[in-house]
Amino acid sequence: MDGVYRVNWGKKRMRMMKQKLLVMVLIAMIAPSICAQEGPTPEQVKGALDQLLQVSPDQIANSLKEMKAQVNQWDGEVADLRSKAETMETQVMDLTARLDSLQAILQKFAKGAEIQKPQPEAVAMAPADPSSMTQMASMTPGKQEAVVSYSEHIRPIFEAKCFSCHNRDKRRSGLSLESVSDALEGGSSGEVIVPGKPDASRLFRLINHQEEPKMPLSGDKLDPESIAKIRTWIKQGAPVDANSQILVVEEESTETMPVFIAAEITDGPPPMPEVDLGIPSLDQERPNVARAIAVNPRTPLMAVGSLDQVLLYDLEKNHLIGALPFPEGEIYSMAFSVNGELLVAGGGSVGESGDVVVWNVRTGERAGEFHEGYDTILAVDISPDHKMVAMGDPDGIVKVFSTESKKLLYQCEEHTDWIHSIGFTPDGEVLATGDRAGGLFLWQAANGRKVENLRGHTDAINDMAYTQDSTLLFTAGGDGKVFVWDTWKYSQVRNFSAHDGEVFSIDVSADGQVVTTGENKKVRRWNLEGGHQQDYPDLPDWGYQARFDQVTGKVIAGAWNGDILVWNRDTGEAKMQVSTLPSAIDTAVKGEVVADAGQQTETVE
């Protein structure tokens, strides 16, 4: 009986549900006509019941279908409205951030510049407070001059000459000129406009061809009238439109005041050691891998990373000059600054410490020390203006420090594997970093903002080098290939197979030659297009470093077994062979003092 009861109860529930559904459908169908009045009349109720009895299943299905379609339409409209609301909220947040940035910029010169406001006529002014005169000393009264505004005068110039590169989509070098707020935000090299100070504004100095790279890159210099307008616009505080307030600031000296100095070259003799650097330590028992070799871009000075020291060679005289102590451990990476005045080395002790040291090339004195982390620093570079040191470690973290304050400026954590290579562009605007898994990133050097993730290599990026104009980046890969990247368009230009096995090192000369070495012991020279030019004699072991000497026209290569070979670049004639093991260096290659000291040491032993 229980089973029969459950069946009958189920049938009854079905009939009740159908009746409720019919009522709901009917109400939906007649609701508009009923709701138009204050309330249903008895006749309307009776009519509705009659309609209810006459409703067919097909009508109910159609009504339900229409209702569902209406609900779906409403859902779509709600989703669209929500999306628009989220977009508007994002835009509001962006505008708020830009306003905050603009307010911060305005505060920088608020103390030294007067905002010229329209004054109502015939208004008596109270005497000036004597205590405020000191604050006003830097300001001078001035007549209200005609406003040179962005919207009317400057934007048409930028649109014709600059927007193709410096728009909000491309932001070449991190800079957009599509609005005043964008321009004031600056680019990867920092601020480009100092409101009220055109001579201190990098934007003006670039378009006036007072600083490299001269702008616009393609085409002639802007006409004098356009340059004058931009100068006046910046001098007036970069007003947006004719109703904007104008800055009146005291005229300053026209003496050069660059915001950014890339690779400044000082007068006098080029950088070479000017003091006795002392003799190398001969305590090292066996050679270490010749993985860290750097050549000064302005002098025939070669630095070789040894154990606990840096060996310095004169490539013109082909002899050892001396050594710089590095008691922190083994050196894994070295680089000279663009102007050759500083040498930076990174290394340390595996699993214990990571260390970076900066030396003054002329005096041999330490100009900076950075002791960071618990593992060796694998890659290091110094910015062209000497203000920043960038380093990478096995944790996959890139850290950039101020050379002045020694404080961490920013760190980049996008990499997923050991940092194998790192380098600032010669103009100092971009920092490139490569890791063991083939990850390659470009960052704005000034602030660490990610510019692009360059995909192409399928294995480690072991080394990198730039052309002198900073436009091309060459990377050496564990996949046996060299990739060439456009640092302005953030895209791959080409790639070519360079070696069987890994390519461990790469360098680019000032006259557009490329040298590589790798796992197959070959040292090869190429042109910028990847055309093979020359092979040098095979190394005794895997090739780990390849460098050009710009001054003497030589090629240097370092091998896994510690040997370092030097050839004439064009003829391939051997010029010198040394080692990371000081005691293994031939006496003829040593300087007189070093040679005598080495012989004395051997005699004492």
**Can you give the CATH number for the domain in which 405 is found?**
2.130.10.10
Residues 586, 468 share a domain: yes
**pLDDT at site 531:** 96
Residue 549 CB-density burial (10 A; 0-12 exposed, 13-18 middle, 19+ buried): buried
The least confident of 75-84, 317-326, 585-594 is 585-594
Residues 302, 200 share a domain: no
Q: What's the helix, strand, coil split of the chain in %, to 5?
A: 25, 30, 45
Residue 11 has pLDDT above 70, yes or no: no
pLDDT in tens, 346-402: 999 988 889 999 999 999 999 999 988 889 999 999 999 999 999 999 999 999 999
pLDDT in tens, 167-190: 888 888 888 899 988 888 888 767
In a domain, 200, yes or no: yes
Whole-number Å distance between alpha carbons of 202 and 215: 11
Residues 6+ apart with CB under 8 A from 135: 111
Percent of the chain with pLDDT over 70: 74
Residues 297, 241 share a domain: no
In a domain, 571, yes or no: yes
Residues 580, 503 share a domain: yes
Residue 342 has pLDDT above 60, yes or no: yes
Residues 388, 474 share a domain: yes
Tokens of 483: 């990739």
Enclosing H/E stretch for 568: strand 563-568
Looking at 217, 232, 248, the residue that finishes a domain is 248
In single-letter form, the type of residue at position 48 comes to: A
E-state strands within 189-300: 246-248, 293-295
Residues 251-279: what's their mean pLDDT? 62
Residues 496, 357 share a domain: yes
Residues 330, 226 share a domain: no
Average pLDDT across the chain, whole number:
80
Residue 140 has pLDDT above 70, yes or no: no
Residues 461, 405 share a domain: yes
In single-letter form, the type of residue at position 265 comes to: I
Whether residue 516 contacts residue 484, with contact meaning beta carbons closer than 8 Å, is answered with no
Whole-number Å distance between alpha carbons of 423 and 510: 17
Tokens of 299: 């002098």
In a domain, 276, yes or no: no
246-248/114-116 β-pairing: antiparallel
Q: Look-up: residue for tokens 């957009």?
A: 176
E-state strands within 509-542: 513-518, 523-527, 532-536
Tokens of 278: 């002392």
The least confident of 114-123, 412-421, 431-440 is 114-123
Higher pLDDT, 137 or 245: 245
**pLDDT at site 561:** 95
Residues 485-497: what's their mean pLDDT? 94
In a domain, 281, yes or no: no
φ, ψ (nearest 5 deg) of residue 6: -65, -35
Residues 308, 209 share a domain: no
Whole-number Å distance between alpha carbons of 574 and 108: 59
Whole-number Å distance between alpha carbons of 2 and 401: 83
**pLDDT at site 110:** 47
Nearest CA to 342 among 315, 322, 373, 368?
368
Residue 118 has pLDDT above 50, yes or no: no
When pLDDT is cut at 50, 70 and 90, the band that residue 259 belongs to is very low
* Vertex 352 angle, CA 346 and 353, to 5°: 30
When pLDDT is cut at 50, 70 and 90, the band that residue 48 belongs to is low
In a domain, 126, yes or no: no
Question: How would DSSP label each residue in 297-331?
Answer: SSSSEEEEEEEEEEEEEETTTTEEEEEEEEEEEEE
Residue 137 has pLDDT above 50, yes or no: no
Q: Look-up: residue for tokens 């005291």?
A: 250
What is the per-residue burial (b if ≥16 Cβ within 10 Å, else e) of 382-409?
Answer: bbbbbbbbbbbbbbbbbbbbebeeeeeb
The least confident of 102-106, 129-133, 166-170, 179-183 is 129-133
In a domain, 537, yes or no: yes
**pLDDT at site 22:** 55
**pLDDT at site 90:** 62
**pLDDT at site 143:** 46
In a domain, 75, yes or no: no
* Separation of first and last alpha carbons in the chain: 112
Residue 43 CB-density burial (10 A; 0-12 exposed, 13-18 middle, 19+ buried): exposed
In a domain, 573, yes or no: yes
Residues 30, 150 share a domain: no
- Domain containing residue 328: 293-604
Residue 599 has pLDDT above 60, yes or no: no
Report the domain count for the chain. 3
* Vertex 318 angle, CA 313 and 320, to 5°: 35
Residues 209-225: what's their mean pLDDT? 83
Tokens of 178: 């599509």
Residue 152 has pLDDT above 70, yes or no: yes
Whether residue 385 contacts residue 260, with contact meaning beta carbons closer than 8 Å, is answered with yes
Residue 285 has pLDDT above 70, yes or no: yes
Residues 240, 334 share a domain: no
When pLDDT is cut at 50, 70 and 90, the band that residue 519 belongs to is very high
Residues 208, 316 share a domain: no
Residue 129 has pLDDT above 50, yes or no: no
Whole-number Å distance between alpha carbons of 333 and 423: 11
395 DSSP assignment:
T
